[in-house]
Amino acid sequence: MLAWLMWKNLRPLIWFVQRARTGVSQADAWNLYRYTERTLAVGLRRLAGDLHGCPAEYVIDDTVDEGCERWKAELLHVADDLESLEYPDSRADLFEDIDEDAQVRREAWAWLMAHWESLWD
């Protein structure tokens, strides 16, 4: 029992060291899809906050300021979508709202794929 309690309390430290060494911990790899979505949401918010520019296609019909504001709004929208995805706490909730979450996930990933090479700052 004591060994289990020690292990339970040491896991966050072990995962911290693993993330520092490789960028991903065992816990992250176990749930890689959710880790990726959470990490992308944080990164998109940071990119929107730093916003030193925007992709050229956003300023074709607009001024630079308008295009960059539209880019920022889309970054934040996709970050919101990724953060809004629910993951059930129990097996009983597993299939509730699964279609709605699947649609949100598809739309967010479609946007990310279309703009993947523009995610720089």
pLDDT tens digits, 15-71 = 889 889 998 888 888 888 888 888 999 999 999 999 888 888 888 877 888 888 999
- Residue 21 shares a structural domain with residue 53: no
- Residue 86 shares a structural domain with residue 113: yes
Of the candidates 41, 57, 39, 46, the one whose C-alpha atom is nearest the C-alpha of residue 104 is: 41
pLDDT at 61: 77
**Do residues 75 and 116 lie in contact, with contact meaning Cβ atoms separated by under 8 Å?**
no
- Residue 82 shares a structural domain with residue 42: yes
- Give the structural domain span for 60: 31-118
- 98-115 helix and 64-84 helix, angle to the nearest 10 degrees: 140
